[in-house]
Amino acid sequence: MSHTSPNGSQLLEDLQKEQPETIASSDDNPIDPVTGLSQRERDYIQQSWHHVRQDLKAAGLGFFQAFFKAHPDYQLKFKKFADVPADQLADNKSFLVHAMSVMNAVTMVVDSLDDIPKLVNELKNLGKNHGRHNIKTENFRNLTVVLVAFLESALGPQLFPEDVKQSWIKALDVVVSVVATGLPQPSPDDDAGSAM
């Protein structure tokens, strides 16, 4: 059975409802009614990230090298290191600061899985901040695909088996849905103008 996460707007509506805090699944593994993540899935994410957070600098560098290899055009969105050759990014202070910022944002997500109102607020702000730089939902989706692949490669099958991978995919789908609510939404006029 596949899980379809609610969209960001639905998440916000669900947060405003008072009942229930958790819903027990058939195997008595509580599922958060807002994110759709079970306690076991949240545990998998938090336990796997524990290994990554031991060296966030190396993780950030490795992740962004993979990200820019998969999407080289995305590097152009970063004015301070848009023209830095890939083999010199590790020496660029602005790049390292941004890589750490992203790793800290992932840490915030992982640490806030049990505090959904805080998580939603932080993710909406993340969307607003990135919207000012013309970052789109598709960019975040691509980032999450590379993040999962990076984690799978970096942690290996013992620390990142299929059930852990699927937990990350499910959580990051929710993350992108909420971030998207903070990004500027295209107006109908934008669509009409692009068709000309």
Do 118 and 112 meet the contact criterion of CB atoms below 8 Å apart?
yes
The predicted pLDDT at position 183 comes to 86
Task: Select from 75, 113, 70 the least CA-distant residue to 95.
Answer: 75
For every residue of 122-188, DSSP letters joined together read: HHHHHHHHHHTTT--HHHHHHHHHHHHHHHHHHHHHHHS-HHHHHHHHHHHHHHHHHHHHHSPPPPH
Is residue 4 classed as helix, strand or coil in its secondary structure? coil
The predicted pLDDT at position 34 comes to 86
Q: What is the pLDDT of residues 130-139, one digit of tens each?
A: 888 888 999 9
Segments in the chain below pLDDT 70 = 1-28, 186-196
The predicted pLDDT at position 105 comes to 95
**Judging by DSSP bridges, how do beta strands 30-31 and 23-24 pair with one another?**
antiparallel
Do 11 and 120 meet the contact criterion of CB atoms below 8 Å apart?
yes
Do 182 and 128 meet the contact criterion of CB atoms below 8 Å apart?
yes
The predicted pLDDT at position 3 comes to 37
The predicted pLDDT at position 187 comes to 61
In the 8-state DSSP scheme, what is residue 79? Answer: T
The predicted pLDDT at position 7 comes to 38
The predicted pLDDT at position 158 comes to 96
Q: Length of the chain, please?
A: 196
The predicted pLDDT at position 132 comes to 82
The predicted pLDDT at position 18 comes to 32
Task: Select from 164, 126, 139 the least CA-distant residue to 43.
Answer: 164
The predicted pLDDT at position 6 comes to 41
